[in-house]
Amino acid sequence: MKKFLLLGIVALIGSVAMAQSSKAVKWTFSSKKIAAGTYEVRMSAAISGDYHMYAQNAGVDGPLPTAISFNKNPLVTVDGKAKEVGKMVKKFESAWSGTVNYYEKTVDFVQVVKVKGKAKTNVSGKVEFMVCNDEQCLPPSEEEFTVNIGG
């Protein structure tokens, strides 16, 4: 019985910690047609307080870089890697023993996708990220998304 109680407490603490990271970043997702059958999917992060979020290339091993993954959709082709739009900070951090790449306040990740034919469909996936400030890092978190495209 004690093992189950301990396991329950650990699971609760883990879910509360994950919720903290999610509260530090507010995500919005949208799409924009840029050519026939071609769309930009924009994943926008508003980072609260004095936290910062690491770039897709964090610069060093240690901090979790932002990673975007897309669910398979036979009607959609993902074109390359998401571009980062924002003011990247490159700073030496002794905690990571190197220069890290991160964003403060806001950053947009823009992914070009192509729709086969004239189908109306959606793009879905998740963004995995980690936020830190000068005192602490919150546990990594993920945000799932679905964006309508095509038609």
**74-101 pLDDT, tens per residue?**
999 999 999 999 999 999 999 899 999 9
pLDDT band for position 119 (50/70/90)?
confident
- Nearest 5°: phi and psi at 18? -65, -40
The pLDDT score that the predictor gives to residue 31 is 97
Structure tokens at 30: 């949208």
Top-confidence residue, 119 or 50: 50
Helices (H), the chain: 2-24
**DSSP type of residue 112:** E
pLDDT band of residue 21 (cuts 50, 70, 90) is: low
pLDDT of residue 89: 98
Report residue 22's pLDDT band, with 50, 70 and 90 as the boundaries: low
Domain that holds residue 83: 2-150
Q: Which residue has the tokens 């980062």?
A: 84
- pLDDT tens digits for 102-114? 999 999 999 999 9
| Structural domains counted in the chain | 1
Q: Residue 65: what pLDDT?
A: 98
> Kindly report the CA angle at 137 between 135 and 138, in degrees rounded to 5?
130
Give the type of residue at 46: A
CATH (domain of 105): 2.60.40.1250
